[in-house]
Amino acid sequence: MKEVSIIIPAYNAEKYIKECIESILCQTYENIQIIIVNDGSTDSTVKICESFNDKRLNIINQANKGVSSARNAGKREATGDYIIFVDADDTLNENMIETLVYTLECNNADISICGYKKIFSNNNFINEKIENEEKIYDNDKAIYAFLEGKYFGIGLWDKLIKREIVEKVDFEDGRKINEDKFYLFNVLLYAKKVYVNNLGLYNYMQREQSVTKGKFGEKNLDIIYFSDKIKEIIERQYPKFKEIDLENYIRDNIYVYRNIVRNYNKNDYIYKYADEIREKLRKLKNNKNNYKKYNKIELLLICSFPIIYKTFLKIFDIFIRNRRQRWILV
């Protein structure tokens, strides 16, 4: 029986990590190594982890360096033949690891992916969503599916990866947004075969504290940083996929531009990036083949009428706020 290393970066996760660990210790696949990387927590995270008496559980303590550094630290300690990264506030169905190992080995795959349940806590309402369908991909099809945004998602928590591939790729320290997406992309570059099933075995909890849900700020520029890097690799190694990647590239740039001009003024330091993004979009706009599938009106406003575009965003935001207030009153 091959060993599976489960790497869990944890920062101030006292509210959720007990349930996460319990779901892993209950796995039907028992040959596991659990590596919890405490990333400088100031709450009871470590105490809770230490309360479990199981020799399979290992705790690494480090100063607060971010999730990428924590995952790299976990990788260095991993001894398993297969590796999976799990978030400290999520849980696994009891047969998740067994299913991923079985499907990976039966299909001679380098990566095995399962479906997941996206769970929202809102007045006890739970929305269950499974976004995958059963398929087997070779390298080209896997890269295309990743760029297309179907089946794979951008998270790492539902993906079992062979050790030899994980060892070839490191997370970029200091990056906070889309670092997992870029890591997944790099892992897929080395995968000859990827298996995807449609079983919702991972419980992805939507928390208000998520780093991606906070105020838009400089950390969100990582979206552009990684989008640039993916674009460079696609142009060099997969030129036949340039068009679909360009759609993602334009979308990412529009998203960041929109949020900068929506939340900041010209005097703010971050605003200079809006001007840089706008100049990039103007160059892409001039080639009509590059944005034929895009929201042409938004791209036109950004490139040619930025003041009108910003005014439109303000009016739209006021409209949405007033609508929400009326809904609450009703």
Examine the pLDDT at 119 and tell me if it is beyond 60.
Answer: yes
- Residues 167 and 292 both lie in one domain: no
- Residues 226 and 265 both lie in one domain: yes
CA nearest 57: which of 65, 46, 69?
A: 46
> What total of structural domains would you count in the chain?
2
Which of the listed residues 168, 188, 211 is the one where a domain comes to its end?
211
- Residues 223 and 201 both lie in one domain: no
Average pLDDT, the chain: 89
Which of the listed residues 211, 243, 260 is the one where a domain comes to its end?
211
Instruction: Say if residues 112 and 224 touch (Cβ distance below 8 Å).
Output: no
pLDDT (average), residues 123-130: 49
Three-state secondary-structure class, residue 256: helix
How far is 264 from 252, CA to CA, in rounded Å?
A: 18
pLDDT of residue 208: 62
- Residues 35 and 126 both lie in one domain: yes
- Residues 59 and 157 both lie in one domain: yes
Measured over the CA atoms of residue 237, residue 242, residue 248 and residue 254, the dihedral's sign is positive
pLDDT (average), residues 191-203: 92
- Residues 207 and 228 both lie in one domain: no
CA nearest 219: which of 156, 273, 170?
A: 273
- Residues 191 and 232 both lie in one domain: no
Summarize pLDDT for 288-308 with one digit per residue, the tens.
555 555 567 888 889 999 999
- Residues 205 and 261 both lie in one domain: no
- Percent residues over pLDDT 70 in the chain: 88
Summarize pLDDT for 25-64 with one digit per residue, the tens.
999 999 999 999 999 999 999 999 999 999 999 999 999 9
Q: The CATH number of the domain where 24 resides is what?
A: 3.90.550.10
Measured over the CA atoms of residue 204, residue 207, residue 210 and residue 215, the dihedral's sign is positive
- Residues 228 and 188 both lie in one domain: no
- Residues 206 and 111 both lie in one domain: yes
Examine the pLDDT at 211 and tell me if it is beyond 80.
Answer: no
Q: Indicate the DSSP class of residue 153.
A: -
- Residues 295 and 269 both lie in one domain: yes
- Residues 233 and 115 both lie in one domain: no
pLDDT (average), residues 147-158: 84
- Percent residues over pLDDT 90 in the chain: 69
Beta strand pairing call for 91-92 and 32-39: unpaired
Confidence of residue 215 (pLDDT cuts 50, 70, 90): confident
- Residue 111 belongs to what domain range? 4-211
pLDDT of residue 123: 41
Which of the listed residues 185, 211, 237 is the one where a domain comes to its end?
211
Confidence of residue 153 (pLDDT cuts 50, 70, 90): confident
Confidence of residue 133 (pLDDT cuts 50, 70, 90): low
How far is 53 from 88, CA to CA, in rounded Å?
A: 18
pLDDT of residue 285: 72
Both tokens of 128, joined, read: 């269950």
